[in-house]
């Protein structure tokens, strides 16, 4: 499973990128707003940091506007994936933009039927929102499983990009189900390395080592 970082924080992206685990980045207007920077400027900097897809979101509501904005965003760098919403107009824009050879991330997916339409429209990525379904007392992972089955049934090449991830359990479950990509905040990705038993074991080892009075260096 590929890891995308869901942030516009340059320092956080650089930190994870140096570890070699970043396969791409997702951004949206809310994340750009938190950065307090110009959308094109920060997106270009992110694109320079990572080799993989960097999702940049359109804000128009009509297909013509999304296509125009998408083409403008695509000028920022070759690894831009244009992000459009899963609306009928968004599907139209997706069809046009992918027809031009551009990567398109169709976002705000909340049903398997929506995901099927996105695949038919040629989406590069489909972004089901797990956490927001959980907020409604629905299991967001059920949606990932349904999309996985449908895409496998018919050989769709659209990649499932599990989004709205809020916990390390979300990451694990997405990987078990077979999501192609998971995008998560830096804090969630870093938390995957943590376990209370690791901490306890390390503490015990260090105490025993201290008793030996030895040094490695």
Rg (Cα) of the chain, in Å, rounded?
Answer: 20
Residue 112 has pLDDT above 90, yes or no: yes
pLDDT tens digit sequence for 118-138: 999 999 999 999 999 999 999
The pLDDT of residue 77 is: 97
Whole-number pLDDT of residue 127: 98
d(CA 82, CA 139): 28
pLDDT in tens, 145-168: 999 999 999 999 999 999 999 999
Residues 89-111, mean pLDDT to the nearest whole number: 98
| Residue 106: CATH number of its domain | 3.20.20.70
- Whose structure tokens read 């940049």? 56
Average pLDDT score, the chain: 95
Q: Is pLDDT at 84 greater than 80 in this prediction?
A: yes
Residue 120 falls in the annotated catalytic set: no
- Which of 83, 92, 172, 200 is catalytic? The answer is 83
User: pTM of the full predicted structure?
Assistant: 0.93
For residue range 18-37, list pLDDT tens digits in order: 999 999 999 887 877 777 77
- Written as six digits, the tokens of 147 are 């999309």
The answer to whether residue 212 sits within a structural domain is: no
DSSP H stretches of helix in the chain: 10-18, 29-35, 39-49, 63-74, 88-99, 112-120, 130-134, 140-154, 168-177, 186-191, 196-212
**Residue that is written with structure tokens 């080799």 in the block:** 51
Asked if the structure places residue 179 within a domain, the reply is yes
The phi-psi region of residue 96 (left if phi > 0; otherwise alpha if psi is between -120 and 50; otherwise beta) is: alpha
State what percent of residues in the chain have pLDDT above 90: 89
What value does the mean pLDDT take over residues 74-100?
98
Q: Give domain status of residue 199, yes or no.
A: no
Query: Which band of pLDDT confidence, cut at 50, 70 and 90, is reported for residue 74?
Result: very high
User: What's the domain count of the chain?
Assistant: 1
What pLDDT band is residue 90 in, cutting at 50, 70 and 90?
A: very high
Whether residue 22 lies inside any domain: the answer is yes
The gap from C-alpha 124 to its chain's centroid, in whole angstroms, comes to 13
In a domain, residue 192? The reply is no
User: Do the domain assignments include residue 206?
Assistant: no
Determine the distance from the C-alpha atom of residue 215 to the mean position of all C-alpha atoms in its chain, rounded to a whole number.
43
Read off the pLDDT of residues 164-190 as tens digits, 9 standing for 90 and up: 999 999 999 999 999 999 999 999 999
Residue 54 lies in a domain: yes
pLDDT value, residue 38: 84
Residue 113 lies in a domain: yes
Domain that holds residue 37: 2-186
């Amino acid at each position: 499973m590929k890891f995308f970082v869901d942030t516009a924080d340059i320092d956080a992206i650089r930190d994870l990128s140096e570890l070699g685990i970043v396969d791409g980045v997702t951004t949206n207007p809310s994340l750009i707003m938190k950065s307090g920077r110009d959308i094109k400027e920060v997106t270009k900097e992110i694109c320079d940091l990572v080799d993989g897809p960097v999702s940049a979101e359109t804000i128009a509501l009509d297909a013509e506007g999304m296509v125009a904005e998408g083409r403008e965003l695509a000028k920022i760098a070759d690894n831009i994936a244009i992000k459009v919403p899963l609306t009928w107009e968004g599907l139209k824009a997706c069809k046009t933009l992918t027809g031009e050879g551009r990567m398109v991330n169709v976002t705000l997916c909340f049903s398997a039927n929506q995901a099927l339409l996105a695949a038919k429209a040629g989406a590069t990525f489909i972004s089901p929102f797990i956490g927001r379904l959980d907020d409604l007392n629905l299991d967001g992972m059920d949606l990932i499983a349904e999309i996985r089955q449908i895409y496998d049934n018919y050989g769709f090449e659209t990649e499932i990009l599990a989004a709205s991830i809020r916990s390390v359990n979300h990451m694990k479950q997405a990987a078990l189900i077979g999501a192609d990509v998971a995008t998560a905040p830096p804090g969630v990705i870093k938390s995957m390395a943590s376990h209370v038993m690791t901490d306890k074991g390390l503490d015990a080892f260090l105490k025993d080592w201290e008793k030996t009075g030895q040094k490695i260096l």
